[in-house]
Amino acid sequence: MRDAAQESSTVNIKHREAVQHDENTLADLHPVLRQIYLNRGITKQEQLDRTLKNLPNYQSLTGIDCAVSIIKEAVQKNKRILIVADFDADGATSCAVAIRGLKMLGAKNVDFVVPDRFKFGYGLTPEIVDVALELKPDLIITVDNGISSVEGVAYAVEKGCQVVVTDHHLPPKQLPNAHAIVNPQLLNDEFPSKALAGVGVMFYVLLALRASLNKDGSFDNKPAPNLANLLDIVALGTVADVVPMDETNRKLVHQGLLRIQAKKCVPGIAALLRIAKREPDRVVSSDLGFAIGPRLNAAGRLDDMSLGIRCLLTDDPQEAQNIAEQLDMLNIERRSIEDDMKQDAYKILESLKLQKNKQEQWGVCLFDEDWHQGVIGILASRIKEKLNRPVIAFAKGENGDVKGSARSIPGLHIRDTLDDVASQHPGLLKKFGGHAMAAGMSFAERDLDTFKQAFNEAVKKRLNSIVPENVFLVDGEIPDNDINLNLAETLRQAGPWGQSFPEPLFVGTFNVTKARIVGQKHVKFELATQNNNRKIDAIYFNVDNPDSVIGLAKVKLVYQLDVNIYLGRSSVQLMVRYLELG
């Protein structure tokens, strides 16, 4: 049988291919872990270095000297510095790192604003500049935004503000006329990591600022601040923004996780972990991505991301706990809204199936006038996972516009696809921007049908008219005797895993000794290995049709090897990602 969640695309299980190596490569590692690293291009022990000593130098970032000069003068002359943040987890963490870091480096007058996504939209718009001007800033620093804010930057400069843009999004053809721009994605930028999140870019700006202040003698009579104390927040933003986990990001995230595990994180992260029932000393990157990130993001989706930023800025544990509880309630509300919207989306998809002579859906566009603008990104992601097609979910915007949030599949650069649409249909898109895997846009609601057709054609062209397969790339089979707690713990600590450095996936066939539905849409299994009949627990979350997997005698699974802790006892558990008849 096929997993219901994969019903709209072909499922293919493929084994990852290891890079060329000799028999002595990483020979001291567990054979399974060795194979995992080889499958991800790791062939040298130094590639596994997760210390900070070999981080890329900030000096290769274009514009860093100019940015530091401006910020340093603002710090030394006690100018008013205003951080303008984005309303997602990367924006919130970038803002918190900027404010904490600047204060560590001597700034006395630092504040922030974050746009209300429902009033102002994304980035440094002229409207948010008007809000910023009420605080009378001398210097505006954008974090996780600004690279596309041509009009807003021009307006802020016209009003007498200096503007430093720090961002990591792909730059448009026309750059804003800021006093300085720091973005590793800029053309001809030589910084080796193009995968930094917005929070990583801001962290690097702080590193450069500290070095410049140190050179000036600012720390002659006192120790230079330890900016590594910010890495718990850097790790959270990096993981939550799902940027590629390249060598640089793995170091930043690993060091941040070490701080959290040592209970040296900010009170806000500690409180969010408590709310999510995660033990700090066992936290791994997936906990940041699936437990902490969504709670932080809920503020920007449903309310005001200022709440999330305050959670990361406070040093008062009780205030942090109070805010974390508010964020948790918002996240519960967000999940409820998402579930309702998902059912609406399924009905739309069913109606599309029933239409005669319907156009083949290469790129899927879904719209309901009642959908919540703050949740369409998650909805697009869920439907993308179900269909294995790029998906854009739309909600009503202001002044007769719709706002869309897009999520893509491997092999299709969604921001570039939107650029194709804009080139073919000048004037159709009012605004767009984003990454390879996620993007946002706005245009007139009356143009929705025109956009749907244009987007569908652009996706088809980029896919070369080849229907995308839903591929599970696996790291092979684990020998029965190695499916144990020791290996599960080893793999858990071998990351940090993330985008482009994925958590290991395995394939295997097992006999089913027990199966039962739990929580209405999850299935709990007791399995037996084929060769030695060892009993192993497994859990399959969010099964669209759980009754369909009850009663199977033998199953072939794609799974992750995980550790289950229950009543203080640890045991090995398989986390099922895909299931078919064995």
pTM of the model: 0.92
Residue 392 has pLDDT above 90, yes or no: yes
Do 199 and 175 touch, CB atoms closer than 8 A? no
What whole-number percentage of the chain has pLDDT above 90?
A: 83
Q: Where are the alpha helices (DSSP H) in 445-502?
A: 448-462, 485-492
| pLDDT confidence bin for 9, thresholds 50/70/90 | low
Do 299 and 307 touch, CB atoms closer than 8 A? yes
What whole-number percentage of the chain has pLDDT above 70?
A: 97
Q: Strands 438-444, 470-474: parallel, antiparallel or unpaired by DSSP?
A: unpaired
| pLDDT confidence bin for 2, thresholds 50/70/90 | very low
DSSP class per residue in 207-270: HHHHHHHHHTTTTTTSPPP-GGGGHHHHHHHHHHTT----HHHHHHHHHHHHHHHTT-S-HHHH
At 172, give phi and psi (nearest 5°): -80, 180
The pLDDT value recorded for residue 359 is: 63
Do 11 and 557 touch, CB atoms closer than 8 A? no
Architecture of domain 58-329: Alpha-Beta Complex (3.90)
**Assigned token pair, 430:** 């009012």
**Assigned token pair, 162:** 């200096």
Domain spans in the chain, listed from the N-terminal domain onward = 4-46+472-581, 58-329, 359-468
CATH 3.20.10.10 assigned to domain 4-46+472-581? The reply is no
Residue 582 has pLDDT above 80, yes or no: no
**Assigned token pair, 116:** 């209300």
Between CA 71 and CA 73 the distance in angstroms is 5
What pLDDT digit, counting tens, does each position of 433-485 carry? 888 888 999 999 999 999 999 999 999 999 999 988 889 999 999 999 999 99
What pLDDT digit, counting tens, does each position of 480-520 carry? 999 999 999 999 999 999 989 999 999 999 999 999 999 88
CATH number of the structural domain 359-468: 3.10.310.30
Provide the mean pLDDT of the chain. 93
The pLDDT value recorded for residue 352 is: 77
Between CA 453 and CA 439 the distance in angstroms is 18
SS3 content of the chain, % helix, strand, coil (to 5): 40, 20, 40
What pLDDT digit, counting tens, does each position of 241-264 carry? 989 999 999 999 999 999 999 999
The pLDDT value recorded for residue 24 is: 86
**Assigned token pair, 311:** 């959670």
Residue with tokens 């030394």: 76
